[in-house]
Amino acid sequence: MQSSILVITEHWNGQVDGITYQMLAKGRQLADSLGIGLAALVLGYRLDGVIAALQEKGMDVLLVVDHAQLAQAGAEVQASVIAEAVRQMQPRLVLIGYSLVGMELAPAIAAKLGAPVMTNCVNAEIIDGAAVVTRPLFDGTLHAKIALEDKGPPLVAVQRGATPSVQLPPRTASVQPVSVDMGSIPVRSEVLEVIEEPVSDVDIAKADIIVSVGRGIGDKEKIPMIEELAQALGGLMACSRPLVDLGWLPRERQVGASGKSVSPKLYVACGISGASQHLSGMSDSRMIVAINKDPNAPIFQVAHYGVVADLFEIVPALTEEAKKAKGEVAS
Amino acid sequence: MKIVVCCKGVPGTVADVKIAPGGKAVQYQGQFLTMNECDEYALEEAIALKRAHGGEVTVLTMGSITTQDILYLALAKGADKAIRIDAQIQDSQAAGTVLAAALRKLEYDLVLTGTQSRDTLSGLAGIATAERLEMPFAFAVTQVEVDGDKTIKIRKELGGGRFADVRLPLPALLCVQTGIQPLTYVPPARMLRARQQALRSFSLSDLGLAEQQIVPQGYHFLNIFPPERTGQAQFLEGSAGEVAAALLGKIKEVL
Ligand SMILES: Cc1cc2nc3c(=O)[nH]c(=O)nc-3n(C[C@H](O)[C@H](O)[C@H](O)COP(=O)(O)OP(=O)(O)OC[C@H]3O[C@@H](n4cnc5c(N)ncnc54)[C@H](O)[C@@H]3O)c2cc1C
């Protein structure tokens, strides 16, 4: 199908990743503003279940590459197959989720196509007929709006959670196989095994209340202050990735793209900037409270309540209030 | 094993950010250039691999003369050689073109980079470099094991609590994940000694590249601004006690 928006889908073990539905919703919005169609591409092996899950999800055409060699293919092979499908189809723009999988695929697909690529986007829209993306710079303290020229076609990778996965009006997509000459694609690396992380003792994903600490804490010795607040509120303590990298807290406490996805009733972020890889693990929380010194910290984009202040002043005061409320401290 | 590690100098803070004439780049005043943290982890891994298996580590950076500080830090941490490409390039795909051209002039079995830089936040340059050299690559690598003369075995993150073990033929490029090794502290004396070491530099013409070959293609900046408030966040102000009391009130509503 000429001149459509093409969404690259992501699935694992027969399950479509939620980020795909977000990209489909975004893709439909872009396609409608351009008056063109929406297509999606799925690749893998024995895809009947995935096709069935996707087919009614609002795209006009579902392109399929189903091949035994794609059963456990590495990123290089997947990128080559996607690039070949894009070449054949010539879409107006390619949308892919900025998941860890997308982070590895997007630059390779773009390089193979000689196409421009915008990663880590928080938005994509059509302004005066041109695709315009919004993406962070400098730790996310600034945003840039960037216009894409119709070369390529351009690839746009959008952050998880940046667009809601609204239900598109159901329609039955026409399923079209794409023929790719698998023999012509070099296979250099070999995926030996995919490993699932074992379940840990502390499961932050099950907690109703999470108090999460970021690098703003500055010092390992100060972490008990956060733990104390978590306990006073009756919740669990979690953290951003750098604290795990520094060895200050165990990996089971990490929230984000490469950690756990959580959606508690309450998420209190203390000294966390709100990088896309952190937000993608917690932006579905019912109530988000952010305490950060920097008024431009991207965490305030998703927060319901924000406090622009030093966490070392606010956290002890909040702990005190919570204890008072439980009657642990005489007021 | 010969390892090249690509390390970028990034500003600690920036001011006066605006779009450069032509719309292809961002201009800013940057303060105190530091080594991009993701790349520092790649450097630590390169040095750890050298300690375990022998060989040498060459650190490669790109930028103006001020980025030399990044190279001295790398030498102080244990790199053997240091090279600066004298070019200032923001576009990550263009950076891939230039890094690939420099690598063609070097001998290596393994190239290590970080996952992303804190200024562009695009996570592209590593894989763009690998693609230009038609080299196998892996992203978000958390473990590297040398398992043969001509192969390595790595573990990488897939997200959602999943990892993949992958075997790659050498030469290969790995975008190393943060936390792969502890960051080492460099005592000032070692830094002083490193400053005595010679650095190599490549100009773009040394690499057979012309300025116009590395102009970013296919996009232009329209606007740069502090992140827009989506309007949902309500900001609480006052003394710490007042803010805490108000917050607890809000919190109780949801629990
Ligand atoms: C492939 C990949 C996967 C990743 N996966 C994850 C992941 O799963 N989870 C994750 O969290 N990150 C992940 N990251 C890292 C992510 O990009 C960010 O680097 C990280 O989230 C930043 O953590 P932070 O907010 O704690 O630190 P920083 O970004 O350093 O922010 C610290 C914040 O603290 C504030 N602050 C400082 N002092 C104070 C104070 N006294 N009071 C109040 N505020 C203060 C600062 O204003 C700043 O906003 C990943 C990155 C990559 C490339």
Can you give A66-113 as a three-state secondary structure string?
Answer: ECHHHCCCCHHHHHHHHHHHHHHHCCCEEEEECCHHHHHHHHHHHHHH
Q: How confident is the model at residue A199 (pLDDT cuts 50, 70, 90)?
A: confident
Ligand 1 atom showing the smallest separation from residue A311 Cα? 42
Q: What is the pLDDT of residue B231?
A: 66
DSSP helix/strand/coil, A263: coil
pLDDT of A144 higher than 70: yes
pLDDT of B28 higher than 50: yes
A130 touches chain B (CB under 8 A): no
Unique residue bearing structure tokens 């990735």: A241
Answer yes or no: are the C-beta atoms of A75 and B136 closer than 8 Å.
no
Among B121, B123, B139, the residue with its CB nearest the CB of A140 is B121
Answer yes or no: are the C-beta atoms of A131 and A30 closer than 8 Å.
yes
Smallest CA–CA distance, residue B62 to chain A, in Å, is 18
pLDDT of B255 higher than 90: no
Residue B116 Cα, ligand 1 centroid: separation in angstroms?
13
Query: What are A96's two structure tokens?
Result: 């892919």
**In chain A, ranges of CATH 3.40.50.1220 domains:** 204-325
A104 touches chain B (CB under 8 A): yes
Residues of chain A with Cβ-Cβ distance to B118 below 8 Å are: 138-139
Q: Name residues 207-266 of chain A within 8 A of B (Cβ).
A: 208-209, 233, 241-242, 244-247, 257-258, 260-261, 265-266
Residues of chain B with Cβ-Cβ distance to A101 below 8 Å are: 158-159
Strands across the sheet containing B162-169: A190-196, B162-169, B151-159, B137-146, B172-176, B110-113, B2-6, B56-62, B81-86, B200-203
Q: What is the pLDDT of residue A254?
A: 97
Sign of CA dihedral A63, A68, A69, A74: positive
pLDDT in tens, A292-323: 999 999 999 999 999 999 999 999 999 999 99
Count of Cβ atoms closer than 10 Å to residue B52 Cβ: 12
Which long-range contacts (C-beta less than 8 Å, at least 24 apart) are formed by B161-165? Answer: B161/A196, B161/A197, B161/A260, B162/A12, B162/A194, B162/A195, B162/A196, B162/A197, B163/A194, B163/A195, B163/A197, B164/A191, B164/A192, B164/A193, B164/A194, B164/A195, B165/A191, B165/A192, B165/A193, B165/A194, B165/A195
CA distances from A193 to A73, A189, B172 (A): 11, 12, 19
Mean per-residue pLDDT over chain A, rounded: 95
> d(Cα A179, Cα B134) in Å, to the nearest integer?
24
Domain assignment of residue B86, given as a range: 2-213
Q: What is the pLDDT of residue A152?
A: 81
CATH class as words, domain A204-325: alpha beta
Answer yes or no: are the C-beta atoms of B169 and B109 closer than 8 Å.
no
pLDDT of A197 higher than 90: no
Q: How confident is the model at residue A330 (pLDDT cuts 50, 70, 90)?
A: low
Q: Residues with beta carbon inside 6 Å of ligand 1?
A: A 100, 103, 139, 214-216, 240-242, 254-259, 271-273, 275, 277-278, 281, 291-294, 297, 310-312; B 115-116, 140
pLDDT in tens, A86-139: 999 999 999 999 999 999 999 999 999 999 999 999 999 999 999 999 999 999
Count of Cβ atoms closer than 10 Å to residue A167 Cβ: 11
**In chain A, ranges of CATH 3.40.50.620 domains:** 4-184
Q: What is the pLDDT of residue B30?
A: 85
Among B14, B17, B93, the residue with its CB nearest the CB of A110 is B93
Q: How deeply is A272 buried, as exposed, middle or buried, from its count of CB atoms within 10 A (0-12, 13-18, 19+)?
A: buried
Query: What are A69's two structure tokens?
Result: 């060699």
DSSP helix/strand/coil, B215: coil
Mean pLDDT score, B41-52: 98
Q: What is the pLDDT of residue A166?
A: 82
- CATH homologous superfamily of A4-184 equals HUPs (3.40.50.620)
Q: How confident is the model at residue A329 (pLDDT cuts 50, 70, 90)?
A: low
Mean pLDDT score, B245-255: 93
Per-residue burial over A3-27, b = 16 or more CB atoms within 10 Å of its CB, e = otherwise: ebbbbbbbbeeeebbbbbbbbbbbb
- pTM score: 0.96
Pairing of strands A305-308, B234-235: parallel
Q: Which stretch of A63-72, A310-319, B208-217 has the lowest confidence by average pLDDT? A: B208-217
pLDDT in tens, B64-101: 999 999 999 999 999 999 999 999 999 999 999 999 99
Number of domains in chain B: 1
pLDDT of B36 higher than 60: yes
Q: How confident is the model at residue A1 (pLDDT cuts 50, 70, 90)?
A: very low
Q: Is the residue at B242 inside a domain?
A: no
Q: Look up the ipTM and state it.
A: 0.96
pLDDT of B32 higher than 90: no
Unique residue bearing structure tokens 């119709």: A150
> d(Cα B151, Cα B168) in Å, to the nearest integer?
6
Q: What is the pLDDT of residue B110?
A: 98
Comparing B2 with B14, the larger pLDDT belongs to B2
Tell me whether residues B121 and A139 touch, CB distance under 8 A.
yes
**Cα of A295 vs its chain's centroid, Å:** 23
Q: Which stretch of A23-32, A193-202, B138-147 has the lowest confidence by average pLDDT? A: A193-202
The enclosing domain of B57 has a CATH number of 3.40.50.620
pLDDT in tens, B95-121: 999 999 999 999 999 999 999 999 999
Answer yes or no: are the C-beta atoms of B199 and B83 closer than 8 Å.
yes
Q: Is the residue at B255 inside a domain?
A: no
Residue A293 Cα, ligand 1 centroid: separation in angstroms?
13
Report residue A145: phi and psi, to 5°.
-100, 130
HSE (side-chain half, CA atoms, 13 Å) at B116: 21
Unique residue bearing structure tokens 């840990």: A200
Percent share of chain A, pLDDT over 70: 98
Q: What is the pLDDT of residue B228?
A: 79
Smallest CA–CA distance, residue B202 to chain A, in Å, is 24
pLDDT of A165 higher than 80: no
Closest CA to B172 of B142, B131, B204: B131
> d(Cα A78, Cα A76) in Å, to the nearest integer?
5
Identify any residues that bridge with B157 across adjacent strands, giving them in sequence order: B163
> d(Cα B103, Cα B209) in Å, to the nearest integer?
13
Q: Is the residue at B252 inside a domain?
A: no
- What residues contact A141, with CB distance under 8 A and at least 6 apart? A273, A294, A296, A297, A298, B226, B227
Which of the listed residues A226, A293, A296 should we mutate to test ligand 1's pocket, taking the one with most ligand atoms within 8 A of CB?
A: A293
Angle ∠(A33,A38,A39) on CA atoms, nearest 5: 155
Report residue B4: phi and psi, to 5°.
-110, 130
Taking one residue from A and the other from B, the number of pairs with CB-CB distance under 8 angstroms is 256
Mean per-residue pLDDT over chain B, rounded: 95
